[in-house]
Amino acid sequence: VSAATPAPLHVAIIMDGNGRWAHRRGLARSAGHRAGAGAVERTVEAAPSQGIGTLTLYAFSADNWKRPADEVSTLMGLLRRYLRRERRRCVENGVRLSVIGRRDRLDAEIVRQIERAEAETASGSRLTVRIAIDYSAREAIAAAAHSASGLPALSTADFSALLNRAIHSSPPAPDVDLLIRTSGEKRLSDFLLWECAYAELVFTDTLWPDFGADELARAIAEFQKRHRRFGMVSATA
Protein backbone atom coordinates (compact mmCIF):
# COMPACT_ATOMS: atom_id res chain seq x y z
CA VAL A 1 0.00 0.00 0.00
CA SER A 2 1.42 3.33 -1.04
CA ALA A 3 1.66 5.79 1.80
CA ALA A 4 1.50 8.52 -0.84
CA THR A 5 -2.23 8.13 -1.51
CA PRO A 6 -4.25 9.37 1.46
CA ALA A 7 -7.74 8.09 2.28
CA PRO A 8 -10.45 9.36 -0.08
CA LEU A 9 -12.29 12.39 1.30
CA HIS A 10 -15.32 11.97 -0.94
CA VAL A 11 -16.61 8.48 -1.68
CA ALA A 12 -19.60 7.94 -3.98
CA ILE A 13 -21.41 4.62 -4.28
CA ILE A 14 -23.68 3.21 -6.97
CA MET A 15 -25.62 0.75 -4.83
CA ASP A 16 -26.51 -2.02 -7.27
CA GLY A 17 -27.73 -5.59 -7.01
CA ASN A 18 -30.67 -5.43 -4.61
CA GLY A 19 -32.95 -7.20 -7.08
CA ARG A 20 -30.47 -10.02 -7.76
CA TRP A 21 -29.85 -10.46 -4.04
CA ALA A 22 -33.58 -10.97 -3.51
CA HIS A 23 -34.00 -13.19 -6.57
CA ARG A 24 -31.26 -15.55 -5.36
CA ARG A 25 -33.19 -16.00 -2.15
CA GLY A 26 -36.55 -16.47 -3.86
CA LEU A 27 -37.73 -13.16 -2.39
CA ALA A 28 -39.52 -10.17 -3.89
CA ARG A 29 -37.38 -7.27 -5.13
CA SER A 30 -38.74 -5.12 -2.30
CA ALA A 31 -36.98 -7.45 0.19
CA GLY A 32 -33.72 -6.69 -1.63
CA HIS A 33 -34.29 -2.96 -1.30
CA ARG A 34 -35.08 -3.34 2.41
CA ALA A 35 -31.86 -5.30 2.90
CA GLY A 36 -30.13 -2.55 0.90
CA ALA A 37 -31.29 0.02 3.42
CA GLY A 38 -29.50 -2.04 6.08
CA ALA A 39 -26.31 -1.88 4.05
CA VAL A 40 -26.70 1.90 3.89
CA GLU A 41 -26.81 2.06 7.69
CA ARG A 42 -23.70 -0.13 8.06
CA THR A 43 -21.78 1.87 5.46
CA VAL A 44 -22.68 5.26 6.97
CA GLU A 45 -21.61 3.99 10.37
CA ALA A 46 -18.25 2.75 9.06
CA ALA A 47 -17.40 5.81 6.95
CA PRO A 48 -15.94 8.26 9.52
CA SER A 49 -13.43 5.75 10.86
CA GLN A 50 -12.20 5.26 7.27
CA GLY A 51 -11.38 8.97 7.01
CA ILE A 52 -14.30 9.75 4.69
CA GLY A 53 -15.73 13.27 4.95
CA THR A 54 -18.47 13.02 2.31
CA LEU A 55 -20.37 9.91 1.25
CA THR A 56 -22.75 10.23 -1.71
CA LEU A 57 -25.19 7.35 -2.29
CA TYR A 58 -27.17 6.82 -5.51
CA ALA A 59 -30.59 5.83 -4.15
CA PHE A 60 -32.95 6.75 -6.99
CA SER A 61 -32.02 7.93 -10.46
CA ALA A 62 -34.18 10.10 -12.69
CA ASP A 63 -34.54 7.01 -14.88
CA ASN A 64 -35.79 4.87 -11.98
CA TRP A 65 -39.24 6.47 -12.44
CA LYS A 66 -39.56 3.99 -15.33
CA ARG A 67 -39.66 1.03 -12.93
CA PRO A 68 -43.02 -0.57 -12.03
CA ALA A 69 -45.15 1.71 -9.83
CA ASP A 70 -45.08 -0.64 -6.84
CA GLU A 71 -41.27 -0.75 -6.87
CA VAL A 72 -41.08 3.05 -7.11
CA SER A 73 -43.38 3.34 -4.13
CA THR A 74 -41.36 0.77 -2.13
CA LEU A 75 -38.19 2.77 -2.78
CA MET A 76 -39.81 6.11 -1.91
CA GLY A 77 -41.24 4.55 1.26
CA LEU A 78 -37.80 3.28 2.29
CA LEU A 79 -36.22 6.67 1.65
CA ARG A 80 -38.93 8.50 3.58
CA ARG A 81 -38.53 6.10 6.49
CA TYR A 82 -34.75 6.38 6.42
CA LEU A 83 -34.88 10.18 6.60
CA ARG A 84 -37.44 10.08 9.40
CA ARG A 85 -35.85 7.31 11.46
CA GLU A 86 -32.17 8.02 11.01
CA ARG A 87 -32.06 11.74 11.53
CA ARG A 88 -31.84 11.46 15.32
CA ARG A 89 -29.01 8.92 15.08
CA CYS A 90 -27.31 11.21 12.57
CA VAL A 91 -27.48 14.12 15.00
CA GLU A 92 -25.99 11.94 17.76
CA ASN A 93 -23.17 10.83 15.47
CA GLY A 94 -22.32 14.20 13.93
CA VAL A 95 -23.66 13.16 10.51
CA ARG A 96 -25.08 15.84 8.24
CA LEU A 97 -27.74 14.66 5.78
CA SER A 98 -28.24 16.25 2.38
CA VAL A 99 -30.44 15.09 -0.49
CA ILE A 100 -29.28 15.87 -4.01
CA GLY A 101 -31.36 15.83 -7.17
CA ARG A 102 -34.65 17.34 -8.28
CA ARG A 103 -37.42 17.94 -5.78
CA ASP A 104 -40.28 19.03 -8.02
CA ARG A 105 -41.37 15.47 -8.89
CA LEU A 106 -41.23 14.09 -5.33
CA ASP A 107 -44.38 13.92 -3.25
CA ALA A 108 -44.89 16.55 -0.60
CA GLU A 109 -44.35 14.18 2.33
CA ILE A 110 -40.88 13.08 1.25
CA VAL A 111 -39.91 16.69 0.53
CA ARG A 112 -41.01 17.53 4.09
CA GLN A 113 -38.86 14.69 5.47
CA ILE A 114 -35.89 15.86 3.40
CA GLU A 115 -36.22 19.43 4.68
CA ARG A 116 -36.54 18.29 8.31
CA ALA A 117 -33.60 15.91 8.06
CA GLU A 118 -31.40 18.58 6.47
CA ALA A 119 -32.39 21.24 9.01
CA GLU A 120 -32.00 19.02 12.07
CA THR A 121 -28.63 17.57 11.05
CA ALA A 122 -27.16 20.80 9.67
CA SER A 123 -24.55 21.16 12.43
CA GLY A 124 -23.11 17.65 11.86
CA SER A 125 -19.43 17.97 11.04
CA ARG A 126 -18.02 14.43 11.27
CA LEU A 127 -19.49 13.16 8.00
CA THR A 128 -21.80 14.49 5.29
CA VAL A 129 -24.08 11.88 3.76
CA ARG A 130 -25.61 12.94 0.46
CA ILE A 131 -28.45 10.79 -0.81
CA ALA A 132 -29.18 11.17 -4.51
CA ILE A 133 -32.93 11.01 -5.19
CA ASP A 134 -34.44 11.77 -8.62
CA TYR A 135 -30.90 12.50 -9.70
CA SER A 136 -29.42 12.72 -13.20
CA ALA A 137 -25.90 14.08 -13.69
CA ARG A 138 -26.64 15.29 -17.20
CA GLU A 139 -29.79 17.10 -16.08
CA ALA A 140 -27.80 18.65 -13.23
CA ILE A 141 -25.08 19.84 -15.60
CA ALA A 142 -27.70 21.26 -17.97
CA ALA A 143 -29.38 23.09 -15.07
CA ALA A 144 -26.07 24.53 -13.87
CA ALA A 145 -25.22 25.61 -17.42
CA HIS A 146 -28.59 27.33 -17.66
CA SER A 147 -27.95 29.19 -14.39
CA ALA A 148 -24.57 30.26 -15.77
CA SER A 149 -25.93 31.73 -18.98
CA GLY A 150 -25.36 35.45 -19.04
CA LEU A 151 -22.47 35.20 -16.56
CA PRO A 152 -18.93 35.99 -17.68
CA ALA A 153 -16.58 33.07 -18.38
CA LEU A 154 -16.46 30.68 -15.42
CA SER A 155 -13.62 28.67 -13.94
CA THR A 156 -14.29 24.97 -13.41
CA ALA A 157 -14.39 25.69 -9.66
CA ASP A 158 -17.08 28.33 -10.22
CA PHE A 159 -19.04 25.88 -12.34
CA SER A 160 -18.75 23.24 -9.60
CA ALA A 161 -20.30 25.72 -7.18
CA LEU A 162 -23.24 26.30 -9.56
CA LEU A 163 -23.63 22.56 -9.98
CA ASN A 164 -23.75 21.99 -6.22
CA ARG A 165 -26.43 24.65 -6.02
CA ALA A 166 -28.42 23.14 -8.90
CA ILE A 167 -28.67 19.80 -7.06
CA HIS A 168 -29.39 21.37 -3.62
CA SER A 169 -26.15 20.08 -2.14
CA SER A 170 -25.76 21.64 1.27
CA PRO A 171 -22.93 21.87 1.99
CA PRO A 172 -21.36 21.92 -1.49
CA ALA A 173 -19.28 18.76 -1.97
CA PRO A 174 -15.73 18.47 -3.28
CA ASP A 175 -14.96 16.32 -6.33
CA VAL A 176 -15.31 12.56 -5.89
CA ASP A 177 -12.08 10.75 -5.01
CA LEU A 178 -13.40 7.19 -5.09
CA LEU A 179 -16.45 5.83 -6.91
CA ILE A 180 -17.60 2.34 -5.95
CA ARG A 181 -20.16 0.29 -7.88
CA THR A 182 -21.41 -3.01 -6.52
CA SER A 183 -22.85 -6.11 -8.23
CA GLY A 184 -20.28 -6.48 -11.00
CA GLU A 185 -21.74 -3.83 -13.35
CA LYS A 186 -19.18 -1.42 -14.76
CA ARG A 187 -21.10 1.69 -15.74
CA LEU A 188 -21.54 5.23 -14.45
CA SER A 189 -25.28 5.37 -15.17
CA ASP A 190 -25.53 9.19 -15.23
CA PHE A 191 -24.08 9.58 -11.70
CA LEU A 192 -21.82 12.54 -10.78
CA LEU A 193 -20.28 12.80 -14.26
CA TRP A 194 -18.66 16.20 -13.68
CA GLU A 195 -17.59 15.48 -10.10
CA CYS A 196 -15.94 12.16 -11.05
CA ALA A 197 -13.54 13.73 -13.55
CA TYR A 198 -10.53 12.36 -11.63
CA ALA A 199 -12.22 9.75 -9.46
CA GLU A 200 -10.68 6.33 -9.04
CA LEU A 201 -13.22 3.65 -9.95
CA VAL A 202 -13.59 0.47 -7.93
CA PHE A 203 -16.00 -2.26 -9.01
CA THR A 204 -16.92 -5.16 -6.77
CA ASP A 205 -19.02 -8.25 -7.47
CA THR A 206 -20.60 -8.01 -4.02
CA LEU A 207 -24.33 -7.29 -4.20
CA TRP A 208 -25.32 -4.10 -2.37
CA PRO A 209 -27.28 -5.78 0.48
CA ASP A 210 -24.08 -7.69 1.38
CA PHE A 211 -21.96 -4.51 1.49
CA GLY A 212 -20.65 -3.17 4.80
CA ALA A 213 -17.60 -2.04 6.76
CA ASP A 214 -15.27 -4.77 5.44
CA GLU A 215 -16.17 -4.17 1.80
CA LEU A 216 -15.73 -0.43 2.28
CA ALA A 217 -12.29 -0.97 3.82
CA ARG A 218 -11.34 -3.23 0.90
CA ALA A 219 -12.35 -0.60 -1.65
CA ILE A 220 -10.35 2.04 0.19
CA ALA A 221 -7.31 -0.23 0.35
CA GLU A 222 -7.62 -0.67 -3.43
CA PHE A 223 -7.88 3.12 -3.84
CA GLN A 224 -4.72 3.59 -1.78
CA LYS A 225 -2.79 1.33 -4.14
CA ARG A 226 -3.56 3.62 -7.07
CA HIS A 227 -1.21 6.39 -8.14
CA ARG A 228 -3.30 9.46 -8.76
CA ARG A 229 -1.63 11.76 -11.24
CA PHE A 230 -4.32 14.29 -12.23
CA GLY A 231 -2.78 14.54 -15.69
CA MET A 232 0.74 15.08 -14.38
CA VAL A 233 3.77 12.81 -14.58
CA SER A 234 4.06 10.37 -11.69
CA ALA A 235 6.71 11.37 -9.12
CA THR A 236 7.97 7.78 -9.12
CA ALA A 237 8.04 7.27 -12.91
* Edge-to-edge order in the sheet of strand 178-181: 95-100, 127-135, 54-61, 10-14, 178-181, 200-203
Q: Running DSSP on this structure, what letter comes out for residue 123?
A: T
Cβ 195 vs Cβ 173: under 8 Å: yes
Angle at 67 (CA atoms; ends 207, 14), nearest 5 degrees: 35
From residue 46 to residue 85, the character string flagging contacts with ligand FPP as x (rule: CB under 6 A) and all else as - is -----------x-x----x----------x--xx--x---
Task: For residue 136, give Cα distances in angstroms to 32, 36, 111, 175, 192.
Answer: 23, 21, 18, 16, 8
Q: In this complex, which beta carbon is closest to ligand FPP, that of residue 8 or of residue 209?
A: 209
CB of 63 to ligand FPP, least distance (A): 10
15 near ligand FPP, judged by CB under 6 A: yes
37 near ligand FPP, judged by CB under 6 A: yes
The region of 12-20, 113-121, 191-199, 215-223 touching ligand FPP under the rule CB under 6 A is: 12-20
The region of 18-26, 137-145, 150-158, 187-195 touching ligand FPP under the rule CB under 6 A is: 18-26
Positions that interact with ligand FPP (CB under 6 A) = 15-20, 33, 36-37, 40, 57, 59, 64, 75, 78-79, 82, 131, 183, 208
